[in-house]
Amino acid sequence: MNVFYEESVHFDRDLPEFGTRGGVHVHKDGLTVTSPVLMWVQALDVILEKMKASGFDFSQVLALSGAGQQHGSIYWQAGAQQALRSLSPDLPLHQQLQACFSISDCPVWMDSSTTAQCRQLEAAVGGAQALSCLTGSRAYERFTGNQIAKIYQQNPKAYSHTERISLVSSFAASLFLGSYSPIDYSDGSGMNLLQIQDKVWSQACLGSCAPHLEEKLGQPVPSCSVVGAISSYYVQRYGFPPGCKVVAFTGDNPASLAGMRLEEGDIAVSLGTSDTLFLWLQEPMPALEGHIFCNPVDPQHYMALLCFKNGSLMREKIRDEFASCSWSEFSKALQSTEMGNGGNLGFYFDVMEITPEIIGRHRFNTENHKVSAFPGDVEVRALIEGQFMAKRIHAEGLGYRVMSKTKILATGGASHNRDILQVLADVFGAPVYVIDTANSACVGSAYRAFHGLAGGTDMPFSEVVKLAPNPRLAATPSPGASQVYEALLPKFAKLEQRILSQTRGPPE
């Protein structure tokens, strides 16, 4: 269970002929963002050739899996499956698959050009909340169903010439299989098309997006399924064993959940430029914010993602304004103030927040009166407590409950600050561990390949990864923390609602 080889291809630098920046093309409208599908194909050629040149022993590979950026879609031209099945080991993939795609530039997760299609989809199923209950999320511009609808509306000819639509994950798996790989439940949950409870395509959503869509998508499968043996192309060209199993590929976020080895009741907090929460859920409660996906390592359970835009940039601003630009002064402020901050609560959103939609700085004293400022050390604690209380409230809004066995896994820049992690442990009432998550989606894909090989749904994932390196304990809840925050959380939630209603008028 140790990583012994890593290699990468950098799209902009290693494949400059495609002219991408950050691996994508941003179009003139500023909303449309695509990647050239042949760049991805060629990247696979490049990386396998690099491995071959380094003497990598492909004959030892018993199973493989992988991950793709979520939501992006690939459009295979009629006849492409035949080309995939008859690859010549003498030529690289990109030379043989040039004519296989009806759309050469694929929409990716950064694309936000489908607002009209989102409104159409929500209207077709009875509104945003109804769509969320069905598919795990309200309509989002980047979600694949809305992207497919746009392509059908704007380029019906290309759509009619498409025999299969893949996600980035199932596309990559198809390259290894030498035939179309099914979409897995977990990545399939990021399309606004899959009914997350029944694990089948929603007929209402398919019908709203485009005709004959079900046959172009194929039937989805559990994420730990073995989808087939590797194509003979890789056996002959690189020396893979003919019995090498391909386990369904999934999205990068689900693969990260596997890489961090989350278990039931656990939560992972990525403290970066924006803060992201990964939750393991048993009984999901889909809402208008956040996303619920099928769980990639346990088909009976779910995972949720919540994104908070005002993450480390906000922490750095408050550090600079109230802690002399110093993290050690920032830590001193947290150490010198009490849990609960004497009832002083703050909401800090210098850019428009998405969970929930609020902007500005809002401070409230013990009597719930709005104030314009706090003393410096109170300001620091108000920010950190407020960020973590918001995370707990919104996680619980999606059905998450802290359990006695809950672990919190912290990653990202702020996870190096022990005093910030102490507040996290106190607010959630659970121990905080730190984990090295460099390339967690890759590591998670390797774990998942092993899981599929070991029997998939019949074998608990935790059993498969029990020998992997363990996370390190960083903070445990202070005595009395649960009483303090159980009292503060309802107050914090009410104040958030108050700010929301003042900034956008009464609810519709």
CB 402 within 8 A of CB 430: yes
The pLDDT tens digits for 345-380 are 999 999 999 899 899 999 999 999 999 999 999 999
Q: How far apart are CA 59 and CA 66, in angstroms?
A: 18
Bridge-partner residues for 63, per DSSP?
Answer: 245
CA-based R_g, the chain, Å: 24
Q: Which of 190, 6, 198 is nearest to 107 (CA)?
A: 190
Identify the band that residue 503 occupies on the pLDDT scale cut at 50, 70 and 90.
confident
Directed axis angle between helix 144-154 and helix 115-125, to 10°?
A: 110
pLDDT tens-digit readout, 401-411: 999 999 999 99
Res 507 pLDDT > 70: no
Could you tell me the pTM of the whole model?
Answer: 0.93
| Burial grade of 399 (CB within 10 A; 0-12, 13-18, 19 or more) | middle
Residues 395-424: what's their mean pLDDT? 95
Amino acid in the structure at residue 294: C
Calpha distance 229→225 (Å, rounded): 12
Q: Which residue type does 429 have?
A: G
**CATH H-level superfamily of 254-309+401-475:** ATPase, nucleotide binding domain (3.30.420.40)
Question: What is the maximum span of the chain, computed from C-alpha positions, in angstroms?
Answer: 75
The DSSP-derived string for 263-282 is: -TT-EEEEESSSEEEEEEES
- pLDDT (mean) for 239-243: 98
Element (H, E) at 378: helix 376-397
Segment 221-233 mean pLDDT: 97
Looking at residue 264, what is its pLDDT?
92
- Strands 291-294, 275-281: pairing is unpaired
Distance of CA 131 to the CA centre of its chain: 19
| Three-state DSSP class for residue 360 | strand
Domain residue ranges in the chain = 11-248, 254-309+401-475, 312-398+479-504
CATH code given to domain 11-248:
3.30.420.40
Find all residues with CB under 8 Å of 97, minimum gap 6, and list them. 38, 41, 80, 83, 84
Among the listed residues 70, 316, 39, 48, the one whose alpha carbon sits nearest the alpha carbon of residue 169: 70
C-alpha span between 366 and 93 (Å, rounded) = 65
| Unique residue bearing structure tokens 């209603």 | 501
- Do 11-248 and 312-398+479-504 agree at the fold level? yes
Structure tokens at 415: 């996870």
pLDDT for the residue numbered 128: 97
What would the mean pLDDT of 310-318 be, rounded to a whole number? 94
For the stretch 181-210, pLDDT in tens is 999 999 999 999 999 999 999 999 999 999
- pLDDT range class, residue 505, cuts 50, 70, 90: low
Q: Is CATH 3.30.420.40 the classification given to domain 312-398+479-504? A: yes
Average pLDDT over residues 431-440: 87
Give phi and psi for 22, each to the nearest 5: 65, 25
Helix/strand/coil percent split, the chain, to 5: 45, 15, 40
pLDDT greater than 70 at residue 110: yes
Rounded to an integer, what distance in angstroms lies between the CA atom of residue 103 and that of residue 158? 7
Task: Kindly list the distances between the CA atom of residue 265 and the CA atoms of 220, 228, 291, 404, 447, in Å, as whole numbers in the listed order.
Answer: 26, 33, 17, 8, 20
Both tokens of 167, joined, read 């996600």
- Give first-to-last CA distance, the chain, whole Å: 52
Q: Which of 351, 344, 426 is nearest to 377 (CA)?
A: 344
How many CB atoms are located within 10 Å of the residue 157 CB?
A: 8
Residue with token string 């040039």: 98
304/312 Cα distance (integer angstroms):
21
On the question of pLDDT at 508 being above 60, the answer is no
**Bridge-based pairing state of the strands 267-271 and 200-201:** unpaired
Angle at 263 between CA 259 and CA 264, to 5 degrees: 150
Q: For the segment 128-157, what is each residue's pLDDT rounded down to a tens digit?
A: 999 999 999 999 999 999 999 999 999 999
